Amino acid sequence: MYLLDSNIIIYYADKKYYCLDVIFEQETLYVSEITRLEVLGYHRIGDLKPLFEQLFAEFEVISISKSIIDSAISIRQQKSMSLGDLIIYSTALQNDLTIVTRNTKDFDKFENITVYNPFE
């Protein structure tokens, strides 16, 4: 089961990235609330807003729970990482999900999670 990073959703809006079609054909896709915030909160979202809203309506959106925050706190005390990536990582870890991202280097620090780059 897949947890989508923000960049995958943004790339999907550009139909030249047909390699993502197989990901979006999965029965259930998950996103963190932080991903919803990053994508829908982008100040230049423009005409893509309806597409992104439709996608988020189809995804299983995982709330940022206390256990996710507690995990993120523990990890952040040990490793330098952006807050968004840290919450995505902790969400995947807590829910046993594979992170789908083009930015695999953001998660290279960890061995206990599966990261999948559909562009490779």
Averaged in consecutive runs of 10 residues, what is the pLDDT profile of the chain (120 residues)? 97 93 94 97 94 97 98 92 95 97 92 94
pLDDT on residue 101: 97
* Domains of the chain (ranges, CATH numbers): 2-116 (3.40.50.1010)
Stated pTM of the model? 0.94
Tokens of 22: 């197989």
* Beta carbons of 117 and 104 less than 8 angstroms apart: yes
Task: Decide the pairing of beta strands 98-100 and 115-116.
Answer: parallel
pLDDT on residue 115: 97
pLDDT on residue 110: 85
